[in-house]
Chain A
Amino acid sequence: MGRKSTSDKRNRWLWIGLAAPGAIWLLVLFVAPFYVMLSVAGGGINEFFQTVVPVWNPLHWSSFNFSAVWHDIVGAGAYIGPPALRTLLYTGIATAISLAVAYPVAYFVSRYAGERKSLFLVLLIAPFWVSYMMRMLAWIDLLQQGGFFNSALSFFGLPGNTDWLGGKSVTVILGLVYGYIPYLILVLYAFLDRIDQRLLEAARDLGLSKWRTFWSVTIPLSKPAIVAGCFITALPMVGDYFTNQLLSGAPGTTMIGNAIEGQLDSPGQTGQGAVLALMLLVVLLIPMIYYVASTARASREAI
């Protein structure tokens, strides 16, 4: 940790006072809510009203909700499996497509855009400023029966009466890509833009071809950005429950977020919704910790 000047110690209370409102807000509205979630998950239900009875003392937490969810996962009539699997599949495919599109775009704008860089940046950042709902609504307009997309298909002699919004995984995956790719492009751009050009020139001077330079210098150098960008894209996709509702709405395309939301809203199942949310949190803790650790390392290096 950096040097500590004496004035820092004297002004300790000033720093604490400045940090306090934010710290309290974070503790009360970010940390405490997850304790409430645990208490609801470990609590019971009021049999008569079917309402949640949270149990605040960890020693009295029951496993009732946990075993109920366990039965939903492995027992007879288990229904959590398919949405969980779909979440994994959709997120994986959508992230891979996003990376395959975002990297070349970010690479081009950071290295070759020249004096038109501002123009490209405006165009790349623009979707970032357009509401997510607007962007989904735009695709609903295009993909509906009788919409532009089907008309274009029939114009080229292809079957133009497909119900793209009637429960197609393809539509949901493309919706996810469309929704989250701007973040990935910005993360990649910000990093690629800071790569020291002299390293690439050195590689070329030492006789590497353009492709070899790209594969053995640029790609390895940008690995942290690729990892960070994929996390930033994939984490919200995992918790997404509205893209599939908007673009399909069919039970065959539900994801884990829909299962959590559905249980939370149905009487007597709130506790199980909390358990599911906690399980998702535990699974995601690994990538989240990895991301936080890598940003912390990066900021230490920056200081």
Chain B
Amino acid sequence: MASTTESVPRPARAEPLPERSRPRGNPWRRPWALEGFTWLYILWSIIPIAIAVLFSFNKGASQATWQGFSTKWYVGSQVTSVLHNPSLHQAVIQTLILGGLTTLICVPIGVCFAIGIDRWRTRTSTGLNLVMIFSFVIPELLLAVALFLLVTQALTFISLGTPAEVAGLVVWNLSWPAIIVRARLVSIGRSYEEAAADLGASRMRAIRRVLIPLLMPAIFASAVLVFASTVDDFVIVEQLSSTGNTQPMSVLIYSNVHGGLSGPALNALATILLVISLAAALIGFIAYRWLTRGERTQGSTEALTGIAGI
């Protein structure tokens, strides 16, 4: 480093004042204890996952002792790699099918529901909105049990397996687009649409050309959330899957942890699941930033909280 900079004191973030001139302490002092605690939490939350990912590349069959790097649990092994084991790669395919179908059905329905409920303000719409919020807070097991009884006792034309799984996942995730889009509708207000109407646009055209583009960040954020939450879903798909062919990754991991296809192949499967979710999050983040590029927001912070649904 240049010698001139050494003599000049580095500009501190908050220049500490002499002790007596600040009787109540410096309000901008960095709270070291809080920051340390936060970092401890972050390490605790991330290190176990990092280790699990690491062991998916283990050469041996142990999930506890590192025996060297290998990709055999992904592609190498003819018996237990994700690529060659039929039940493992079927689970990957089933997860992607469920994620795709649920997102494609759930998001348009949820977005239209949010617009309709927000504008059609009657007792019925208030009631429907309450039902939607209940579907958000109900423990998943109760809904899954009720859905299982529905498709086995009443609507038997919805067969267990992919149809029942998608039907259940759509209703379980419907609240994401509905809540997020509704919140965005409230913050947008009516003025843009009214301006379009004053300029001669029909109501339908105003929705299509003005409202939908304005809602795009919310729609995108909710699509990412629905996809990620479907890919991660366990309870509903476990109750509503039928044969091994309709079991996605989460169910396969659950049923094999104690015996069965154990070992790093499960870690490999979980890592693939992780990569799928993170890819969805990344796409969501980039798209959210791009869609809100003209707005006065806090930028990345806003986008991060946007795609996390808060």
Closest to B64 in A: A147
**B308-A239 in contact (CB<8A):** no
Query: Given the complex, which residues of A lie within 8 Å of B132, measured CB to CB?
Result: 22, 26
CA distance A235 to B109 in the complex (A): 26
Give the segment of A64-72, A153-161, A215-223, A277-285 that binds chain B. Answer: A277-285
Closest to A234 in B: B139
Interface residues of B in 176-214 (CB under 8 A from A): 178, 182-183, 186, 197, 203-204
Q: Mark B264-293, 1 if CB is under 8 A from A, else 0.
A: 001100110110011011000000000000
Q: How many residues does chain A have at the interface if contact means C-beta atoms less than 8 Å apart?
A: 110
**B120-A15 in contact (CB<8A):** yes
**Distance from B250 Cβ to chain A, minimum over Cβ atoms (Å):** 5
Interface residues of B in 147-194 (CB under 8 A from A): 147-150, 153-155, 167-168, 170-171, 174, 178, 182-183, 186
Question: Does residue A74 face the partner (Cβ distance < 8 Å to B)?
Answer: no
Question: Which residue of B48, B52, B304 is within 8 Å of A121 (Cβ)?
Answer: B304
CA distance A17 to B186 in the complex (A): 20
CA distance A261 to B183 in the complex (A): 36
**A37-B310 in contact (CB<8A):** no
Question: Does residue B228 face the partner (Cβ distance < 8 Å to A)?
Answer: yes
**A141-B52 in contact (CB<8A):** yes
**B257-A140 in contact (CB<8A):** yes
**B112-A22 in contact (CB<8A):** yes
**Distance from A17 Cβ to chain B, minimum over Cβ atoms (Å):** 7
**Distance from A40 Cβ to chain B, minimum over Cβ atoms (Å):** 5
Query: Given the complex, which residues of B lie within 8 Å of A272, measured CB to CB?
Result: none
**B139-A123 in contact (CB<8A):** no
**B24-A209 in contact (CB<8A):** yes
**B146-A37 in contact (CB<8A):** yes
Question: Does residue A202 face the partner (Cβ distance < 8 Å to B)?
Answer: no
Q: Mark A104-140, 1 if CB is under 8 A from B, else 0.
A: 1101110010000110111111111111111111111
Question: Does residue B12 face the partner (Cβ distance < 8 Å to A)?
Answer: no
Closest to B282 in A: A129
On whether A22 and B174 interact (CB within 8 A), knowing A142-B51, A209-B24, A264-B148, the answer reads yes
Question: Does residue A61 face the partner (Cβ distance < 8 Å to B)?
Answer: no
**A108-B37 in contact (CB<8A):** yes
**B232-A22 in contact (CB<8A):** no
On whether A178 and B45 interact (CB within 8 A), knowing A134-B273, A296-B133, the answer reads yes
**Distance from A52 Cβ to chain B, minimum over Cβ atoms (Å):** 6
**Distance from A136 Cβ to chain B, minimum over Cβ atoms (Å):** 8
**A118-B35 in contact (CB<8A):** no
Q: Mark A266-303, 1 if CB is under 8 A from B, else 0.
A: 00001001100100110010001001100110010011
Query: Given the complex, which residues of A lie within 8 Å of B138, measured CB to CB?
Result: 235, 281, 284, 288
**Distance from A157 Cβ to chain B, minimum over Cβ atoms (Å):** 20
CA distance A249 to B46 in the complex (A): 25
Question: Which residue of B142, B266, B277 is within 8 Å of A277 (Cβ)?
Answer: B142
CA distance A40 to B154 in the complex (A): 10
Q: Mark B231-245, 1 if CB is under 8 A from A, else 0.
A: 110110010000000
Interface residues of A in 89-107 (CB under 8 A from B): 101, 104-105, 107
CA distance A126 to B128 in the complex (A): 33
Closest to B131 in A: A26
On whether A242 and B235 interact (CB within 8 A), knowing A133-B250, A288-B138, the answer reads yes
Interface residues of A in 207-265 (CB under 8 A from B): 209-210, 231-232, 235-236, 238-242, 245-246, 249, 257, 260-261, 264
Query: Given the complex, which residues of B lie within 8 Å of A292, measured CB to CB?
Result: 130, 133-134, 137
CA distance A232 to B309 in the complex (A): 14
Give the segment of B3-11, B25-33, B73-81, B215-223 that binds chain A. Answer: B25-33
**A137-B167 in contact (CB<8A):** no
**A274-B145 in contact (CB<8A):** yes
Central interface residue in A25, A235, A241, by most chain B CB within 10 Å: A25
Closest to B54 in A: A141
Question: Does residue B254 face the partner (Cβ distance < 8 Å to A)?
Answer: yes
Query: Given the complex, which residues of A lie within 8 Å of B130, measured CB to CB?
Result: 292, 296
Interface residues of B in 82-121 (CB under 8 A from A): 109-110, 112-113, 115-117, 119-121
Chain B residues with CB under 8 Å of chain A are 24-25, 27, 30-31, 34-35, 37-38, 41-42, 45-46, 48-49, 51-52, 55, 63-65, 109-110, 112-113, 115-117, 119-121, 125, 128, 130-135, 137-143, 145-150, 153-155, 167-168, 170-171, 174, 178, 182-183, 186, 197, 203-204, 228, 231-232, 234-235, 238, 249-250, 253-254, 257-258, 266-267, 270-271, 273-274, 277-278, 280-281, 300-301, 304-305, 308, 310
Chain A residues with CB under 8 Å of chain B are 1-2, 4, 7-8, 11-12, 14-23, 25-34, 36-37, 39-40, 52, 54, 101, 104-105, 107-109, 112, 117-118, 120-142, 144, 146-148, 178, 181-182, 186-187, 189-190, 204, 209-210, 231-232, 235-236, 238-242, 245-246, 249, 257, 260-261, 264, 270, 273-274, 277, 280-281, 284, 288, 291-292, 295-296, 299, 302-303
CB-based closest 3 A-B pairs: A239-B139, A19-B116, A22-B113
